Chains A and B, each alone.
Chain A
């Protein structure tokens, strides 16, 4: 992305940000609260529209496109606070993002034979995702009735069902026990290696993040303050000053 700007009235939440996320990498985005990280993710994923600047994904320009079109290109985002569909079950939450569902067309929906086989395949895949998250037993449970940690996991699992080429994860381990947080990152590394998914992750648990990411960007007051490997960021005095409080 090049020179991306996003303002809310007088507040410049994202101020001429330019950055590159290498394909197949695990890239971190850190910064104090209110530094513009989540806004940046919203702009990349099309939830918010950039005021100016350009965003490219796999060679194509995506700025200004609606978020469902951006999703269609393989760029999938999870939210900081899980945005689950609370009136639906855990299984329905996981199944929803599957692509090209025939039964979503209103003229096919009443005719089960036109989408039943595909539905079974999607359910099979959803079962595997829930199994990975150790949540298969909860499939009939309402999403409103599971714990905060499980909601977070479900949010991550849901993004995986969208067959992403790049995942934007906004604090995927918030509210999750420390040992679980490491498991989640280890799973991301495996998915990167096995499926070639690129990860761009906002995370406040630096002790976990730094062990797994290839590259890190630091945001402060809407701008990119620093970038580099985990080691380089840890040794960066300015970063330590504004972010780590050293």
Chain B
């Protein structure tokens, strides 16, 4: 078995960054805010679809290259050429993609949750979002003009492709993903260690009491879902540019549950826990994927793609039996108030 260490590092770092953003986004929604988002994959997918639309339509437009068939082989060639030779247009398009993905993801989060948030029982929200994710995937799969339908969309390049050294470009993009993930972590830490974090926890613990103490619970629920959805879409856009190929079949419901495993495993209402959960899942994900490729031809009895699910299942059972609060348990909100009380 030959292992390319650089490629391994790039893949691990990229997935760690993407999974960290996803895990933190769900942790904000459910760990802190108590909003069970079982449609996480919908927002992740939306970010990827936005990346596909931007790469196939906006990138050629920015570069001033006319294109007649953005979804066909001509489109792939055009955007690959632009990404390899026009750094400014490529980076502008990529930056716009990230911003637009967050806006669209946040908006989708608000729209999908609007009816369910008016109900006191938050599990209706879970069902609405779970179903919405599948509906979105089926629509995009069945309607080729968005990102090529079931055939998908190729040529969503690494935004550093113009570096003209594939290894360097991959390392640079992995570094960018990790930097963005770090930014998301600090944003989340700042957000929850504040009166907003206190407010989220109050809605999670007892929404009726929170309402009776003057808090607009519906607004808070909507706010946290918009933030979480925007972050998931950001992860989706980063993922699309890492993989380079977008297919709706990549966004099946199991992806939502992967994110739940990361959060529960790491520890709810603890951003460090969300990162730890993402790291464990990235390791399992990548290790089994690698073994599936390397051992696939040798093994007649084990399909390593499925070993991943078995391992995740065992891990979840072990955590739920022996460490219900996750690897890193919940921490109290830390604001200046505690310094005042200490004095």
Contact = CB atoms under 8 A, between A and B. Distances in A.
A103 B212 contact: no
Contacts of B332: 88-89, 92, 140, 142
Contact of B213 (A89, A96, A116): A96
B212 A77 contact: yes
Contact of B341 (A97, A101, A136): A136
Nearest to A82: B209
Contact of B194 (A91, A112, A140, A159): A112
B199 A71 contact: no
Contacts of A72: 214
A118 to B, nearest CB: 9
Nearest to A78: B212
A60 interface: no
Interface residues of A, number: 51
A76 B333 contact: no
A180 interface: no
Interface stretch (B150-158, B215-223, B239-247): B215-223
Nearest to B197: A109
B223 A106 contact: yes
Interface string A95-139: 111010111111011111001100110111011000000001001
Given A96-B202, A116-B336, A123-B341, A104 B213 contact: no
A91 B341 contact: yes
B69 interface: no
Contacts of A126: 337, 341
Contacts of B223: 106
Contacts of B167: none
A85 B209 contact: yes
Interface string B323-343: 000000010110111101100
Given A71-B212, A92-B201, A96-B202, A110 B194 contact: yes
A66 interface: yes
Interface string A61-93: 000001110011000110100011111110110
Q: Which of A72, A79, A123, A124 has the most CB of B within 10 A?
A: A123
B255 interface: no
Nearest to A72: B214
B214 A91 contact: no
A47 interface: yes
Contacts of B208: 47, 83
A120 B336 contact: yes
A76 B201 CA distance: 20
Interface in A140-155: 140, 142
A39 interface: no
B341 A96 contact: no
A162 interface: yes
Nearest to A168: B212
A86 B205 contact: yes
Contacts of B202: 85, 88, 96
Q: Which of A45, A86, A106, A126 has the most CB of B within 10 A?
A: A106
Contact of B338 (A86, A105, A140): A140
Contacts of A79: 209, 212
A77 B201 CA distance: 20
Given A106-B227, A119-B195, A91 B337 contact: yes
B213 A115 contact: no
Contacts of B335: 103, 119, 123
Contacts of A104: 195-196, 198-199, 215
Contacts of B198: 88, 92, 95-96, 104
B211 interface: yes
A37 interface: no
Contacts of A101: 195, 199
Nearest to A103: B195
Interface in A42-56: 45-47
B191 interface: yes
B206 interface: yes
Contacts of A47: 208, 211-212
Contacts of B195: 95, 101-104, 109, 115, 119
A83 B194 contact: no
A6 interface: no
A87 B333 CA distance: 10
B168 interface: no
A223 interface: no
Interface in B73-91: none
A95 B337 contact: yes
Nearest to B330: A87
B269 interface: yes
Interface in B211-259: 211-217, 223-224, 227
B195 to A, nearest CB: 3
A220 interface: no
A106 B205 contact: no
29 contacts: A46-B212, A66-B211, A66-B216, A68-B215, A72-B214, A83-B208, A84-B206, A87-B201, A87-B205, A88-B198, A88-B202, A88-B332, A88-B333, A89-B333, A91-B341, A92-B198, A92-B332, A96-B198, A96-B202, A96-B210, A99-B214, A104-B195, A108-B196, A109-B190, A109-B196, A109-B197, A123-B341, A139-B341, A162-B213
